Amino acid sequence: MNHLENQNTDTEGINGSQLKDSALSNLKYGIVGIFFGIIFVKAEIISWYRIQEMFQLQSFFMYGVIGSAVVVGIISVQLIKRFNIKTIQGEKIEIQPKTFNKGQIYGGLMFGFGWVLTGACPGPLFAQIGTVVTVIVVTLVSAIAGTWFYGLIKDKLPH
């Protein structure tokens, strides 16, 4: 594939397009992000309480959100593949496969711990800051530090 060398184990959020995005064309992702941020807040997915209720099996809410999102996602991706739907620029849609490595287990467990503590996955972090809980900037900086530290010691970790 492309420019991200040693990327083959980590294809999250990847740009499958061979076209170059101008700043102007990137703006459309900002607009999608705005809608997304509003949904995060109004569905209270960014709420620390909702995460606790989910993991203490006190509420169906988060299971409903994630479950219905996955169902809509599966149907959409299968329709795109089945009918070979192209992007609005006319490109063939490329989705990189995920390859298994042990990181999905160890890293997955670690993220689960952090998710409960902060009440946020990475997306809601940005929305939480937007709702003027300013101390979450510290959580974000710490998450960036965690990502950086992973990059630093990546080759010494079991994968």
Partner 1 sequence: MSIIEILREPWPWYVSGPLIGLTVPVLLLIGNKSFGISSSLRHICAACIPANISFFKYDWKKESWNLFFVFGIFLGGVIAAYFLSNPNPVEITAKLSAQLATYGITDRSGLMPKELFSWESLMTLRGFIMIVVGGFLVGFGTRYAGGCTSGHAIMGISNLQWPSLVATICFMIGGFFMANLILPYILSL
Cα 136 off chain centre by: 18
Q: Are 44 and 38 in contact (CB under 8 A)?
A: no
Residues 37, 39: Cα–Cα separation, whole Å: 5
Give yes or no for a contact between 125 and 139, defined as CB atoms under 8 angstroms apart.
yes
Alpha helices in 57-120 (DSSP H): 61-82, 103-118
Instruction: Report the nearest approach of partner 1 to the CB of residue 35 (Å).
Output: 6
Find, among 79, 80, 60, the residue nearest to 68 by Cα.
60
- Name the minimum Å distance from CB 1 to partner 1: 12
Minimum CB–partner distance for residue 140 and partner 1 (Å)? 7
Question: Nearest distance from residue 137's CB to partner 1, in Å?
Answer: 10
Q: How far is the CB of 83 from partner 1 (least distance, A)?
A: 12
Counting beta carbons within 10 angstroms of the beta carbon of residue 102, is it exposed (0 to 12), middle (13 to 18) or buried (19 or more)? exposed
Q: How open is the CA angle 28-136-129, to the nearest 5 degrees?
A: 35
